[in-house]
C-alpha cells in the first residue's frame, strides 16, 4: 500500500537557498502557465493541452527570459505542469458532475500561487534515496540533505516520490511517498454491532452514536485568543517593513502550532475509531464545507472536519473498516432517532428538544449521530439488496 512519511529537513544555508529557489521556480512555472491558460481561453475558448504545456516549459527553460530555471532539476518543474493540468481537470470534472446533478466536493478554478499566502512545494520523482543511518535524503541537483528522524519506513519499500515543502514559517519539510508492499486488510462485514455514526459538531468536534463526545481540545481556544491579538498587531504594521515580516512569521508559527495540535488530536480519535469499530458512518461534508466563512473558529472547525474525513478515508482502507457516507440532504438533527418524527422547527440554537410524538428528550448532537448511523446502515442494506436483485435476474 502507498504510505506517506514526513520529515523536517536540517539544511545548510546553501542547500536551503537551493531548495527555496527550486520551490520558487515551481511556483513561477505554475503561475506562468496558468496565465497562458487564461489568455488562451479568453482568445479561443479552449485550454492548452498537457503536451503543449510541457513544450512551453522546455522553451521557457531554454530561453533567455528566465535563465535561473536551468539551475534546478527539470523534474520538479515538470511536476508543477502536472499539478496544474490536474487542477484544471478536477475543475472541469466537478463542473460536469454539478451539471449532471451529482454531489461531491466542488473544485474551484485553479488560482495563482502567492509567495506569502501559499506553501511552496517541489516534487522529486526519481533519484530519491533515503539513508536512515546517516539520516540523509538524496535530491537531484541538490545532493544529500539531512533530516530529523521520525518514523522509518519498512526496508524494502519502494520510493514513489518526495515532495519538499517550505511552510509559511520558512521551515522545510520532505514528504516521502512509498509503496511498502503490504496489502489492505479485507473489509469486514457490515453489521449493526460494531457500527458507529459520527456527527461532526459545532460546539464539540465530534459526537459518536454510542455517546462518546470528542470535545474541541482546550488549548485551541487559548491559541485562538493569541492568534487574534497577533493578527491585530500584524494588521497595523506596514507591508514590506521588518516588523511586518516578523509578525507574519510569528502568526504563521502560531497557526502551525494550532494545526499540529489539532491534527494530532484527530489522529488519536481516528485511530480509536478504526480500532474499535468495523463500520463508520459519516455525513457527506460538502454540506458543512459550504459554511467555511470568515469566522475564524468556524473556519478551523470545518478544516477539522475535512481532516477527520481525510484520516478516516485512509485508515479505514488500511484496517478493513467500512466507511459509509450518507447523503447531503439527510435531516440528521431534525429527525427523532426513536420514532422517526420530523421536527421542522428545530433551530441551530436548540441544543435539546422533546419529541412531541414519543416524548423522548433528545440531545441534538447525539440524536444526529444515531440518525447518521441508522441512515448509513439503511443505505448499505439497500445497496446490497439491489445488488442481489440484479444478480438474481
For Zn ion, the binding residues (CB under 5 A) are 336, 338-339, 341, 355, 357-358
Nearer to Zn ion, 326 or 336 (CB): 336
Closest listed residue to residue 51, CA positions, set 30, 77, 78, 17: 78
| 76 half-sphere exposure, CB direction, 13 A CA radius | 30
Give the single-character DSSP code of 190: P
What are the C-alpha distances in Å from 125 to residues 49, 85, 250, 278?
Answer: 22, 17, 33, 36
The answer to whether residues 134 and 96 touch, using CB atoms and an 8 Å cutoff, is no
**65: region left, alpha or beta (phi > 0 left; psi from -120 to 50 alpha):** alpha
Nearer to Zn ion, 272 or 339 (CB): 339
User: To the nearest whole angstrom, how small is the minimum distance from the Cβ of residue 362 to Zn ion?
Assistant: 8
User: To the nearest whole angstrom, how small is the minimum distance from the Cβ of residue 342 to Zn ion?
Assistant: 10
Burial of 341 (0-12, 13-18, 19+ CB in 10 A): middle
Nearer to Zn ion, 260 or 357 (CB): 357
User: To the nearest whole angstrom, how small is the minimum distance from the Cβ of residue 361 to Zn ion?
Assistant: 10
User: To the nearest whole angstrom, how small is the minimum distance from the Cβ of residue 372 to Zn ion?
Assistant: 17
- The grid cell for 192 is 449493526
User: To the nearest whole angstrom, how small is the minimum distance from the Cβ of residue 355 to Zn ion?
Assistant: 3
Nearer to Zn ion, 54 or 360 (CB): 360
Nearer to Zn ion, 290 or 358 (CB): 358
Q: Which residues are catalytic?
A: 199, 283, 365
Cβ-Cβ contacts under 8 Å for 46 (sequence gap 6 or more): 40
| 327 half-sphere exposure, CB direction, 13 A CA radius | 8
The answer to whether residues 300 and 220 touch, using CB atoms and an 8 Å cutoff, is yes
Amino acid at each position: 500500500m502507498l504510505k506517506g512519511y514526513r520529515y523536517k529537513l536540517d539544511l545548510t544555508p546553501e542547500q536551503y537557498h537551493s531548495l527555496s529557489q527550486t520551490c520558487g521556480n515551481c511556483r513561477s512555472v505554475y503561475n506562468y502557465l496558468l496565465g497562458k491558460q487564461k489568455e488562451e481561453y479568453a482568445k479561443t475558448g479552449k485550454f492548452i493541452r498537457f503536451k503543449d504545456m510541457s513544450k512551453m516549459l522546455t522553451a521557457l527553460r531554454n530561453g533567455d527570459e528566465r535563465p535561473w530555471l536551468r539551475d534546478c532539476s527539470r523534474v520538479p518543474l515538470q511536476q508543477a505542469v502536472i499539478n496544474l493540468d490536474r487542477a484544471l481537470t478536477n475543475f472541469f470534472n466537478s463542473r460536469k458532475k454539478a451539471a449532471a446533478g451529482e454531489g461531491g466536493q466542488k473544485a474551484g478554478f485553479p488560482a495563482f500561487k502567492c509567495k506569502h499566502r501559499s506553501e511552496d512545494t517541489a516534487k522529486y520523482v526519481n533519484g530519491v534515496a533515503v539513508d536512515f543511518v546517516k539520516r540523509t535524503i538524496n535530491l537531484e541537483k541538490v545532493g544529500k540533505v539531512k533530516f530529523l528522524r521520525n518514523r522509518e519506513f519498512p526496508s524494502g519499500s519502494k520510493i514513489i516520490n518526495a515532495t519538499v515543502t517550505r511552510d509559511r514559517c520558512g521551515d522545510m519539510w520532505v514528504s516521502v511517498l512509498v509503496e511498502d508492499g503490504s496489502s489492505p486488510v479485507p473489509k469486514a462485514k457490515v453489521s449493526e454491532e460494531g457500527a458507529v455514526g459520527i456527527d461532526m459538531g459545532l460546539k464539540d468536534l465530534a459526537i459518536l452514536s454510542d455517546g462518546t463526545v470528542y470535545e474541541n481540545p482546550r488549548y485551541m481556544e487559548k491559541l485562538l485568543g493569541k492568534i487574534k491579538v497577533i493578527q491585530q498587531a500584524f494588521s497595523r504594521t506596514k507591508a514590506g517593513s521588518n516588523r511586518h515580516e516578523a509578525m507574519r512569521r510569528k502568526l504563521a508559527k502560531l497557526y502551525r502550532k494550532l494545526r499540529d495540535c489539532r491534527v494530532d488530536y484527530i489522529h488519536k480519535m481516528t485511530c480509536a475509531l478504526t480500532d474499535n469499530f468495523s463500520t463508520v458512518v459519516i455525513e457527506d461534508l460538502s454540506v458543512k464545507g459550504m459554511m467555511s466563512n470568515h469566522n475564524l473558529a468556524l473556519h478551523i472547525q470545518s478544516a477539522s472536519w475535512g481532516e477527520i474525513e481525510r484520516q478516516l478515508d485512509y485508515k479505514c482502507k488500511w484496517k478493513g473498516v467500512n466507511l459509509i457516507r450518507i447523503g447531503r440532504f439527510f435531516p440528521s438533527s431534525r429527525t427523532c432517532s426513536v420514532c422517526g418524527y420530523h421536527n421542522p422547527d428545530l433551530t441551530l440554537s436548540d441544543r435539546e428538544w422533546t419529541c412531541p410524538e414519543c416524548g423522548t428528550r433528545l440531545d441534538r448532537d447525539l440524536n444526529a449521530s444515531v440518525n447518521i448511523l441508522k441512515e448509513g446502515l439503511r443505505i448499505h442494506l439497500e445497496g446490497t439488496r439491489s445488488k442481489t436483485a440484479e444478480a438474481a435476474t
